[in-house]
Amino acid sequence: MGIKKYTVQIIPEDGEVKEIHLSGKMIILWGSLLFLIIATILYLSVNIGRLIVDKAEYTLLKNKIAHLENRELEIEKLNNKMKKLYDFADKLNKSLGLEISLEEFFEAEKEKLTPEAYGGDEEGTMETEAIRLQDFVPNILPTTEGWITKKFSADHNAIDISLKEGTSLYATMEGTVTFTGDREYLGTTLEILNDEGFGIIYSHLSEIMVKEGAVVKKNQLIALSGNSGRSDAPHLHYGVQMQGKWVNPIDYLLIRR
């Protein structure tokens, strides 16, 4: 029995009829090839789709890991800030001669550290409070110049810093100017208080650059050093009070200029 042959006719609207003669084997061969092409296309489509999904999942996982690493760094920074806050509170205890448990202190402060008080960010309340307190604590020196010539003592409730006349002086904390004028022996004097219980005094000034009643920011330029009052040479008499008690300014210098 001979090989079967098939004829395919192509009949255009105009022109001659074209015939294509195909053997059974040729049809099987072309059919198999077409099947392989379709199967390959389907296989590649499925696997490429999987690759796209896998890549998307990998990218998502990578982003989650990066987010967790950033959170870990933020927590570490917060822990460091909290340690500084605890250290500072311990300094307050020692300088004031108090015996206050730091745990009791923060327990008593819990109501002030509510998320609502700081825009609803529960995770940032302690960090926000620590940063806020830094502005109200005189933990920097009032000048970048000079040197200390007289230390704090029972007879001298401040430190004296030797300076050239006209040296810039800065606010060491945020607060309200409560006095500007002359004090006996101290000469031209500037005093600042805040609601956290701190007060600072600058004396022997040549010029005061803020007015009484003004609210000053930490690191704000507020005066120029001088030699007014009872003074043997230009210098700054700088004192710090905590709850009305004179304390050593050096005890608060967590940050130095």
Mean pLDDT across 161-181: 96
Q: Residues 84-127: pLDDT tens digits?
A: 666 666 666 665 555 555 555 555 555 555 555 545 554 455 55
Q: Residues 226-248: pLDDT tens digits?
A: 999 999 999 999 999 988 899 99
Mean pLDDT across 61-68: 77
* Domain range list for the chain: 1-76, 77-136, 147-252
Strand 245-247 relative to strand 159-162, pairing? unpaired
Mean pLDDT across 137-160: 92
Determine the length of the chain: 257
Would the pTM of this model clear 0.85, i.e. be above it? Answer: no
C-beta separation of 188 from 212 below 8 A: no
- Residue 184 gets the label, from left (phi > 0), alpha (psi -120 to 50) or beta, of beta
Reported CATH class of domain 147-252: mainly beta
Confidence band, pLDDT 50/70/90 cuts, at residue 15: low
Strand 235-242 relative to strand 5-10, pairing? unpaired
